[in-house]
Chain A
């Protein structure tokens, strides 16, 4: 859902990932940008869901 302030998928949790998790597609990029994870719904999918 990616609700601001509610989601736990934030920058700090992504910063922790390289130490404990081997899924490189979820790690932050060198310029601090994160990939969009496969579970995040975009606007279109959200409206379908509701």
Chain B
């Protein structure tokens, strides 16, 4: 991937061009928020659903509730989708699952702002980007250079690229 980095191999005493790719990361939800640049709090906490989240506010408890947000991931003719008693009262689900967002789509979301460090937004989005909390939960840009991402690569993998950029600063990623 990309041009790689010219490095030295002690065992053979030669130089070679090293390519690296970060396949995936495992982190808890708060760390996921820090790495991805998408705040994992409040109504839009899910990066996969983005602004399609079905969260609602409890009238008396006054908390945000994500109860019954996941029936739409069931197959279209699943009996649970039509069940009005086991989940939310009198509610059937016809919606398909939210779209999977591709790299180009994510990049388009970043066209309006250019903040790629948490410290520039006063730490986790204290200086808010337009539409924060309403249409999106981005508090920073996850990578500052334009990468061309194939259509088959999902946003989750795109997001891991930002971490790669931070680890190997000299690596220049250009094209898949």
Contacts and interface: CB of A to CB of B under 8 A. Distances in A.
A20 B67 contact: yes
B59 A22 contact: no
What does DSSP make chain A's interface, helix, strand, loop or mixed?
helix
A21 to B, nearest CB: 6
Interface string B46-82: 0000000000001111100101100000000000000
A19 B89 CA distance: 7
Contact of B90 (A12, A13, A15, A22): A22
Interface string A10-37: 0011011001111000000000000000
B168 interface: no
Contact of A15 (B60, B67, B68, B85): B60
13 contacts: A12-B61, A12-B62, A15-B59, A16-B58, A16-B60, A16-B61, A19-B89, A20-B67, A20-B68, A20-B88, A20-B89, A21-B89, A22-B90
